[in-house]
Amino acid sequence: MIKTLGRLCPLFVVTSLALASFSYADEKPTTDKPKDPVEQVAKSEWSVLWERYEKAIAPSDVKEKLKMLTDYCDRHPDDEDAIKAIAYELKRKGLLREAIKYFSILENIPDLQKSKLFTVYNQLGEIFYELGNYDKAKEKFQEALDIKAVVINFNSLIKDNEVNNLVHIITNEVAQGRHVFHININSDGGNVDSLFYVKDILEQLPIAISTSATDVKSAAVSLFCLGDKRYANDSAVFMIHQINISNINGITVENLDNATQSHNKSNNSMINIIKKCMSITQDEIDKYLLGGAQWYFTGKEAKKRGLVNQSKKLRITPIKVYTIGEGQNVRNPFRAAIY
């Protein structure tokens, strides 16, 4: 059976907002031109102010010296190093609303290196999440999705072990301060209880997800729908149909009535997922999700219906790449930066 949420979720509750260092992730050395004398003076002023702040001990003195640092940053909004330092320091001290101001300045620096911008989005997402502004947190994590993400190739049926692996990967990555994920799906479907389990957990995490499809059928379509941004080539294959009662765990002759009720409930839940994810008529629901017919359609049709909601090609730099399962007739697994 699937591990319970209570055994898995503490990983991200305690550690999801772990402090970042003062360095941007994956920052590359630069060969900037020498700074002019005016800027050199400004940098010297910052160094002196920071040294005084670090030596302050009494709370009132610390507060005063911190105010001098923020005043400096307000006077020098183009001093990227100073703005970065004060943003992280305010976050470290729990002054989250104040930190937002300076991370936002970094966010709006023209032509900021993408790796730096990714880190800023991630930091803002963490802060908004801690403040309870989950919509804003998700918005920032979604912006980070366009730059890079932890990539997971899901090439398997949806079963207990496989979804436990998926949850384990994501919660461990969240515990390390990573909040953006791309799931490339190649699956013939599987157990709906396993699907609802992973859906319930992932929707509670401080993350943003994008998904891409190669060959996605049955319950795997609903897994695809977990993506905030959803990609597929025009030749991708989708298939939806009514839930088979045999796919529900624990059916016996004695509990058939209860199983039938559970089946109807699960089927209604699946219909609600599909309706939120794509344009579908009541006649199509009656035929394919309540009747016995199977509905095959391509990525091109999925785009028209809104199931695929991204028209541009997916260009993303993987932070890490995981693969779950060997898949069935795997096509185009995510390997590098372009899908």
Quick: pLDDT tens for 159-204. 999 999 999 999 999 999 999 999 999 999 999 999 999 999 999 9
The sheet with strand 229-240 has its strands ordered as 295-298, 229-240, 208-217, 180-187, 148-154, 317-324
Task: Kindly report which listed range (105-109, 145-149, 265-269, 324-328) carries the lowest average pLDDT score.
Answer: 324-328
Q: What is the pLDDT of residues 287-333, one digit of tens each?
A: 999 988 999 999 999 999 999 999 888 888 899 999 998 644 333 44
CATH label of the domain that carries residue 59:
1.25.40.10
Q: Quick one: 132 and 157 in the same domain? A: no
Using DSSP bridges, classify how beta strands 295-298 and 229-240 pair: parallel, antiparallel or unpaired: antiparallel
Task: With beta carbons less than 8 A apart as the criterion, state whether 179 and 17 touch.
Answer: no
Task: With beta carbons less than 8 A apart as the criterion, state whether 186 and 215 touch.
Answer: yes
Q: Quick one: 87 and 152 in the same domain? A: no
Q: Quick one: 153 and 109 in the same domain? A: no
Task: With beta carbons less than 8 A apart as the criterion, state whether 263 and 243 touch.
Answer: yes
* pLDDT of residue 240 exceeding 60: yes
Which pLDDT belongs to residue 260?
72
Of 96, 116, 143, the residue at which a domain comes to its end is: 143
How confident is the prediction for the chain on average, in pLDDT? 83
Higher pLDDT, 17 or 74: 74
Tokens standing for 109? Answer: 């620096």
Of 143, 177, 202, the residue at which a domain comes to its end is: 143
Q: How many residues would you count in the chain?
A: 339
Q: Quick one: 272 and 231 in the same domain? A: yes
Domain count, the chain: 2
* pLDDT of residue 336 exceeding 80: no
Return the percentage of the chain with pLDDT > 70, whole number.
79
* pLDDT of residue 76 exceeding 60: yes
Using DSSP bridges, classify how beta strands 317-324 and 295-298 pair: parallel, antiparallel or unpaired: unpaired
CATH label of the domain that carries residue 248:
3.90.226.10
Which of 221, 234, 313, 318 has its CA nearest to residue 270? Answer: 221
Specify the 3-state DSSP secondary structure of 37: helix
Q: Quick one: 137 and 202 in the same domain? A: no
- The mean pLDDT value for 56-81 works out to 93
Q: Quick one: 103 and 178 in the same domain? A: no
Which pLDDT belongs to residue 291?
87
Domain limits at 111? 38-143
Q: Quick one: 255 and 127 in the same domain? A: no
Task: With beta carbons less than 8 A apart as the criterion, state whether 12 and 174 touch.
Answer: yes
Of 143, 169, 185, the residue at which a domain comes to its end is: 143
* pLDDT of residue 22 exceeding 50: no
Q: Quick one: 167 and 288 in the same domain? A: yes
pLDDT interval class at 220 (50, 70, 90): very high
Which pLDDT belongs to residue 259?
67
* pLDDT of residue 110 exceeding 60: yes
Residues with Cβ < 8 Å from 313, sequence gap 6 or more? 231, 338, 339
**Sign of the torsion angle spanned by Cα atoms 63, 66, 70, 71:** positive
Other CB atoms within 10 Å distance of the CB of residue 271: 18
How far is Cα 54 from Cα 68, in angstroms, rounded to an integer?
A: 12
